[in-house]
Amino acid sequence: MPLIYGGVRRLPGLYKQWFTRQSMAKRIGMGLAIYFLIALSAYALWGDNACAVVVDGKVVAVVENEKNAKITLGELVKLKSDQTGMDVLIGEKVSYRGIRVEEEKILDQEGVEKFLAETLSFKTEGTAVVVNGEAKIFLSKNDEAQLLLSWLKSFFPSNPDEHVEFREEVELVSSQANIDELVNLEAAKELVLSGTSKNQQYTVREGDTVGDITVKFNINLSQLQSANPELDFDRLEVGQLISIIQKAPLINVIATREETLAEEIPYQIEIKNDDSLLVGEKKVIREGEPGQRVVTYRITRENGHEASRDVREQNIVCEPVNEIVAKGSQAVLASRGGSARLKWPCAGRVISPFGMRDGRMHQGIDLSAGYGSPITSSAGGTVIVAGWESGYGKTVEVSHGGGMVTRYAHLSTISVSAGQQVDRGQLIGLAGTTGRTTGPHLHFEVIINGQQRNPVNYL
């Protein structure tokens, strides 16, 4: 054992003797070999073992080496170019640098391709349709964009003398665009016609239904429900606010022209009271005559629909002549001695008079009238009842002023409504058999200050 220990202790000395006996060239060579061996060992332990793909200054992926990354990226650009038929470039700045990472973090070829396709934006040169300063549509060629605007101007029917323009400020600008944003000409046509939405609020009114609202705004039920998911359309309430979202053109087409027309000027009707006529009677004293004028209009249409019609110039050829109508002001008198009489409400004869009948008071007269024959108002006045009355069936009552009311009962059809003004002799309904009756006829009453009177004295 001492011999071995002693031999080991002598090794450095022996090596030193051997090294000093070597030439200077050999000494330098051995030193360099030892240095490179140490450096190689250090690199293997702590040096780069992969390539980082850097996009706009940020590491986004780690690959085996730069060469493979560049090949993958080149193949990806070529694939996008083949798909679009256009030159494609990468929108971001891509660089590479060495990096040391765990082996499991290094992407394989398929992973690199998928990651770069999702991370990078691929752009191409095209033409942007800019609307009010904002790029809305991207087409691959300027010729297509020009064709799109020409097509839009001619899409809506127009007259040869119309000046056609866009309401919005529209320009075509050469621009880079993501290849996913490019559209073909047919898709661009659809976008300019309905590429935006118009949102407004509608307040529910009395009598509104869901169907009424969809028809009013030209939308379907699913569109209405989609815009108002929180509302119960089975229970609409007056005053409720409903969102209406309608498709609207991205670019609106305005067409203007001037047109000169010969037009009639409508005449006015002058009413003069005449106490020689009964209330409700009218008489034309002078026929009206329309005037004539020549008018030049500036007509503006938006997307094919007339939006405004403004008078630019007007020349009166002749003034209209007003019609003069005499309106009766004489009240119906309450006796046969007066000159003002009620008109018979139908052509039939009296088949049951006013007075006691079978022990009961018959408070009017019955006039023969075939089923469906016309019943007219005995004098002008205001309809105060138009509906079903117990015992009378379908009934109309007309107030003539001065406390006088006439009643028409057992009608089959009512032709007027409460509150309506009627003239003497105007149709108010048709004879029938409603209420307590044995056959078609008219029951007619005259009521003065709430009391039934014998109608014969007023006819």
pLDDT tens digits, one per residue of 85-108: 888 888 888 888 888 887 777 878
Q: Tell me the average pLDDT of the chain.
A: 85
Residue with the larger pLDDT of the pair 388 and 21: 388
Query: Cα separation of 254 and 306, whole Å?
Result: 10
Q: Tell me: the pLDDT tens digits for 176-221?
A: 888 888 899 999 999 998 877 778 899 998 888 888 888 888 888 8
Identify whether the C-beta of residue 288 lies closer than 8 Å to the C-beta of residue 320. yes
Query: Cα separation of 364 and 454, whole Å?
Result: 6
443 burial type by CB count under 10 A (0-12 exposed, 13-18 middle, 19+ buried): buried
pLDDT (average), residues 17-28 = 62
Is a pLDDT exceeding 90 seen at residue 354? yes
Q: What is the pLDDT of residue 192?
A: 92
CATH of 337-457, one of 3.40.50.300, 3.40.50.150, 2.70.70.10, 3.30.310.160: 2.70.70.10
Question: Architecture of domain 196-248 in CATH?
Answer: Roll (3.10)
Long-range contacts: 177-180, Cβ < 8 Å, 24+? 177/123, 177/124, 177/126, 177/128, 177/135, 177/138, 178/91, 178/121, 178/122, 178/123, 179/80, 179/83, 179/84, 179/86, 179/88, 179/122, 179/123, 179/124
Residue with the larger pLDDT of the pair 129 and 58: 129
pLDDT (average), residues 333-353 = 75
The three-class DSSP label of residue 22 is coil
Residue with the larger pLDDT of the pair 24 and 187: 187
380 burial type by CB count under 10 A (0-12 exposed, 13-18 middle, 19+ buried): buried
Q: What is the dihedral of CA 445, 448, 453, 457, to 10 degrees?
A: -90
Query: Cα separation of 409 and 257, whole Å?
Result: 59
pLDDT (average), residues 15-22 = 59
Q: What is the pLDDT of residue 185?
A: 93
Q: Would you give the DSSP letter of residue 321?
A: B
Is a pLDDT exceeding 80 seen at residue 378? yes
Residue 42: pLDDT band with limits 50, 70, 90: very low
Q: What is the pLDDT of residue 25?
A: 65
Q: Would you give the DSSP letter of residue 103?
A: G
Q: Tell me: the pLDDT tens digits for 126-173?
A: 999 999 999 999 998 999 999 999 999 999 888 888 999 999 999 999
Q: What is the pLDDT of residue 5?
A: 42
Q: Would you give the DSSP letter of residue 456?
A: G
Domain ranges of the chain: 13-46, 50-120, 125-194, 196-248, 256-326, 337-457
pLDDT (average), residues 300-325 = 94
| CA-angle at 20, arms to 18 and 21, nearest 5° | 65
Give the contacts of 168 (CB within 8 A, at least 6 positions apart). 131, 132, 251, 252
Segment of 66-80, 265-279, 422-436 carrying the highest mean pLDDT: 422-436
Is a pLDDT exceeding 80 seen at residue 32? no
Give the contacts of 105 (CB within 8 A, at least 6 positions apart). 50, 62
Output the pTM of the full model: 0.54
Is a pLDDT exceeding 50 seen at residue 72? yes
Segment of 20-29, 226-235, 319-328 carrying the highest mean pLDDT: 319-328
Residue positions counted in the chain = 459
Q: What is the pLDDT of residue 44?
A: 45
Q: What is the pLDDT of residue 283?
A: 87
Identify whether the C-beta of residue 324 lies closer than 8 Å to the C-beta of residue 272. yes
Residue 1: pLDDT band with limits 50, 70, 90: very low
pLDDT (average), residues 106-113 = 80
CATH 2.20.230.10 correct for 256-326: yes
Domains 196-248 and 256-326 share a fold: no
Residue 231: pLDDT band with limits 50, 70, 90: confident
DSSP track, 65-127:
-HHHHHHHHHHHHHHHHHHHTS--EESS-EEEEEE---GGGS--HHHHHHHHHHHS-EEEEEE
Is a pLDDT exceeding 50 seen at residue 40? no
Is a pLDDT exceeding 60 seen at residue 41? no
